[in-house]
Every structure is written in structure tokens, then in C-alpha cells.
Amino acid sequence: MITRMTNWAHANMPTREQMESNRFARRLAVRHELWRFTRRSVPRGVAVGLFIGIFLMIPGLQVIGAALLCMPFRANVPIAALMTFVSIPPTTLFVFLPGAIWVGNRVGYHADFATLSHLFADGASIMDWLAWLGTDAAPALVIGLAVIGLVSAIVGYVLTTIGWRWHTLRKRRLRNAARAQRG
């Protein structure tokens, strides 16, 4: 499964050379450190991608936002872009939005779950959704998304750092074992 996802990502991700030819992406592409897979840039890319993927709920802007946020944090752009896909529609509708509203309610705002379920059940119009967001629901949602995004970014950073360290130590042990057998 992971091999298939990796192959798909390699086939569909634009290369740095393709981005250098695009006038909008040129500034991002000329910074070579944003495209290297290092022990510092990969966890940063995971954190940036998770935060933007959860906080910014607009699918087209998530990858762009993650790529732009990679510049000041010196994070890996392909990893950040890939991590924004954590917020696919099933996770957004059933995990992140209710979770964000719950967290926002705990902070002190009030977003009514009953109204939210009625809007879903009745097939509410865009105006009904905007009216609902005009209440205390919008601050609760934004604060909840920010908190969930920040916590997941921190957890993703820590787990990626631990995983990178484990992978490096495992490769070193295997290399040392191979040397000991040969020599």
C-alpha cells in the first residue's frame, strides 16, 4: 500500500524543474533546501502539511498554503503537500469539523450540534450555512481547527523525528553487522 502511494506521489508531483519554469512557483523552486529529504526538513514538512491540511479547509488552497508556509520554516515541500491530504472529505465531515466545534465549545464559544445536524439533514442552502457560521459557530470552528491543527502538527513532528531516528539507527546497525561479517 505504501509503495503504491509513493509511486502515485512520484508520478503526480511536479518536479522542481517544472516549477522553475512557472513564473508563480519560481521563487519556491529555486530554494533547493526545500526539496531535500533531510532529518530536519521532513518533520517540518509533516508539521506544516498537517497544520495547513486541518486548519485551511479549502481543498485547492491547502497545497498552495503548505508550499508557501514551507519557505519560512525551511520545510520539505513535497512532504508538506502530501500531508495536506489528511483532510479528505470523510475525515473532514466526520472527524475534524465535529472535533473542532467540540474543542471550540470547550474554549468558551457555543456552536450548537443540533443545529448542525438539522442543516445536514435538511440539505440546507449556502445562505443557511453562512447564517449558522455568523453565530458563535465560526469562532468555535476556527479556534477548534487551529488547536487540532497545532496539536496534530506537533505530534506529527515528534513522531516523524522519532521515525527518522529509528530508521537511521536501523540502517547503521545493519551496515555495521554487514561489516562485521565481512571483516
Domain count, the chain: 1
For the chain, list residues with pLDDT below 70: 1, 14, 16, 113, 136
Q: Is the pTM of this model over 0.95?
A: no
Gap between the Cα atoms of 144 and 163, Å rounded: 28
SS3 content of the chain, % helix, strand, coil (to 5): 80, 0, 20
HSE (CB half, 13 Å, CA atoms) of 148? 26
The pLDDT tens digits of the residues spanning 29-44 come to 777 788 888 999 999 9
Q: Is residue 20 part of a domain?
A: no
Q: Is residue 17 part of a domain?
A: no
Quick one: 6 exposed, middle or buried, by C-beta within 10 A (0-12, 13-18, 19+)?
exposed
- Domain encompassing residue 127: 31-182
**Res 95: pLDDT:** 79
The pLDDT tens digits of the residues spanning 55-75 come to 998 887 898 899 899 999 999
Gap between the Cα atoms of 73 and 4, Å rounded: 29
Gap between the Cα atoms of 40 and 1, Å rounded: 26
**Res 1: pLDDT:** 66
